[in-house]
A and B are shown apart, each in its own frame.
Chain A
């Protein structure tokens, strides 16, 4: 296993860092809350090549791997920039699997294609629940409700997961997953009501399930990179603050009760770093096993939670203000922890299989 980043990775990181500092996070009335889609930032990300990073050159992409995606996402996380990057690569991965032409415009930043996987009042699951599709030749008519679809109001297209509810033309089997592309989805209040919306079928059955596993693994690499970047920034800000903030006539760093807590944060950070890199290289080599992805995500959730909570605490009052970046980083880590499933669900799925093997190997 080789964890070194080469000069090309570093150049990519520099380019993204430069773009992020130029685009910077803008003030928002919503504190550290979710922001609407920012078209300027999105164009800048397209220009920097981020939107096409892992996709084939024929589709306007760069044919890079999950490692490059990780490198770029980490810089976005370091800068605390909210965007639909993970969502867009998830949807892009499905389009690529389906060989759909729309990928080109998505990569160029012209189309904003977002996945609609989550359903209200339902814990996240890779397979759809209450949204059903009736197959009509090449298309499908959907019913049910998806949500939340964060930033979905800005989407030009949506990749919707649904369950086939009837034997239709083309020999589909009832209950199978289908991935449907909707043109001009209507998202209001973060919710997409699909009363009779019809769209193009991208993939179905086992192909759809496989594509989803792959897409979720790629999106998890984005989340891992962003989480690691946010943790790195939160760690740096905290150490700097302990060195500069004075109380009782001395810098906070004079209190071992605090420096030991910072040291524990650093332990978490290093484990997060190895884990995020390990996930990126695994996916880059085509290993998208949900158990592996799940284990990595559990570790990143735990470490992100630890670092985010402690970063606020060690800052004192200023840590919970909207003005100061550390709370935004923690908000980002909190959201990442619950995107495409939360650690308790991921652990639940891992727990179901522990009797089936002896140890978890990492070298293959």
Chain B
């Protein structure tokens, strides 16, 4: 056991901090820090800057842009990105489909997709969930039927995040309807511009458009776009979901957010003209959240939680549960600090990317309630927290009913 960073890691940390705070444009980082939704172009711009420096996919195999960093260094990299407010690397690319292709894909697939995926030349979306296959993902019904050199895909995906921006979708499709449910699924890469693909928006309760339904009608997909082995898609999906979950534990971003809320609370006054940050119940809540975030951060350092040897680590479930709970608690505190001001909303589409820091009722206060409500999603997506508890109970504690 040793707490301090080695001299080498300390140097690494300084390097990351320097890069993240000087090479990624301030205007983008200010928006992230203020909780403003970024445009597609802004995400692309930021990811390309990181990729050019070799900082977009350091966790991938060295051959495809990986850096062979230690888990400690990967943690430092992530937390420096998050605390500097660097726009998130597109998770569908860097932590979901990229590692799947790198681990299970063919050489041709790697060459064709990995560089473009790292550089966000291709924007991916995740086509797993269906209307009747949410928590019970393995019951998915979208089919792919082989026809010569092609797969013909029919069915519907839903909750597809940012499909409106996507060039490609990685989808779980049923290729063997007669097999047991988990055994007849394959992992297929589909060009979103293929005839027969239709995207319809779903509005969320914050008024925003981030998820979609995606319909497939006789969509023809070249056979070479199937990843790994036919009917082994479920294994790849589990591998991917393990990485998705641990990626959700964005401790650096949570710490930065809590710090912002403190600065807001310092400016809001109570009836005696004193800052509400001095209010014992507000201050105690902040202190409590800071202690809990510390515990989460040291747990992330102790159990990295990424999938390895092609298998998910059950620790990813622990991180997913705790991180989403804290994320939701931090966002709720922002609503309390905004108080009456939280009753009026800023709808992201109307705001057109403005931070509105100096408005009479500032942007952060108007964003507090829609953001809080939107992030009720965090305990639902990425495998709901109930499903994570099931995994912990079953795989870690051996409690199977």
Identify the A interface with B (CB < 8 A). 29-34, 118, 120-125, 127, 129, 145, 147-148, 150, 189-191, 246-249, 255, 257-258, 309, 312-313, 316-317, 319-323, 327-328, 330-331, 334-335, 338-339, 341-342, 344-345, 347-348, 351
- The 10 A-B pairs of least Cβ separation, nearest first, read A125-B271, A31-B207, A327-B205, A118-B340, A32-B205, A322-B203, A247-B136, A33-B345, A148-B344, A190-B344
Across the interface, do B203 and A321 meet the contact criterion of CB distance under 8 Å?
yes
Across the interface, do B343 and A148 meet the contact criterion of CB distance under 8 Å?
yes
Residues from chain B with Cβ under 8 Å of A147 in the complex: 341, 360-361
CB distance from A24 to the nearest CB of B (A): 18
Complex-state Cα separation, A246 to B208, whole angstroms: 28
Across the interface, do B335 and A122 meet the contact criterion of CB distance under 8 Å?
no
Among A123, A309, A331, point to the contact of B339 (Cβ < 8 A). Answer: A123
Across the interface, do B202 and A120 meet the contact criterion of CB distance under 8 Å?
no
Complex-state Cα separation, A357 to B65, whole angstroms: 68
25 contacts between A and B (CB under 8 A): A30-B347, A31-B205, A31-B347, A31-B370, A118-B339, A122-B269, A123-B269, A123-B276, A124-B340, A129-B271, A148-B343, A148-B344, A189-B360, A248-B135, A255-B386, A312-B376, A313-B376, A313-B380, A317-B211, A321-B204, A323-B202, A327-B204, A334-B342, A335-B342, A341-B339
Across the interface, do B129 and A317 meet the contact criterion of CB distance under 8 Å?
yes
| Interface residue tally for chain B (C-beta within 8 Å) | 58
Complex-state Cα separation, A34 to B206, whole angstroms: 10
Known: A189-B360, A313-B379, A317-B381. A124 touches B206 (CB 8 A): no
Identify the B interface with A (CB < 8 A). 129, 132, 134-136, 139, 158-159, 202-208, 211, 267-271, 273, 276, 279-282, 285, 335-336, 338-345, 347, 359-362, 369-370, 372-374, 376-377, 379-381, 384-386, 389-390
Across the interface, do A150 and B344 meet the contact criterion of CB distance under 8 Å?
yes
Across the interface, do B279 and A316 meet the contact criterion of CB distance under 8 Å?
no
CB distance from B5 to the nearest CB of A (A): 38
Complex-state Cα separation, A32 to B270, whole angstroms: 29
Across the interface, do B205 and A331 meet the contact criterion of CB distance under 8 Å?
yes
CB distance from A61 to the nearest CB of B (A): 27
Among A31, A121, A150, A319, point to the contact of B343 (Cβ < 8 A). Answer: A150
Across the interface, do B370 and A148 meet the contact criterion of CB distance under 8 Å?
no
Known: A147-B361, A190-B344. A32 touches B269 (CB 8 A): no
Among B269, B335, B377, B379, point to the contact of A334 (Cβ < 8 A). Answer: B335
Known: A122-B268, A191-B360. A320 touches B377 (CB 8 A): yes
Residues from chain B with Cβ under 8 Å of A29 in the complex: 207, 347
CB distance from B390 to the nearest CB of A (A): 8
Known: A33-B345, A258-B386, A317-B129. A125 touches B270 (CB 8 A): yes
Across the interface, do A309 and B376 meet the contact criterion of CB distance under 8 Å?
yes
Residues from chain A with Cβ under 8 Å of B336 in the complex: 338, 342, 344
Among A33, A124, A312, A348, point to the contact of B370 (Cβ < 8 A). Answer: A33
Complex-state Cα separation, A347 to B284, whole angstroms: 13
CB distance from B46 to the nearest CB of A (A): 26
Residues from chain B with Cβ under 8 Å of A309 in the complex: 376
Residues from chain A with Cβ under 8 Å of B136 in the complex: 247-249
Complex-state Cα separation, A322 to B205, whole angstroms: 4
Across the interface, do A334 and B339 meet the contact criterion of CB distance under 8 Å?
no
**Besides A338-B339, A348-B281, 9 other CB < 8 A contacts?**
A29-B347, A31-B203, A34-B344, A121-B267, A121-B362, A123-B271, A125-B271, A317-B158, A317-B211
Known: A190-B344, A335-B369, A348-B280. A323 touches B270 (CB 8 A): no
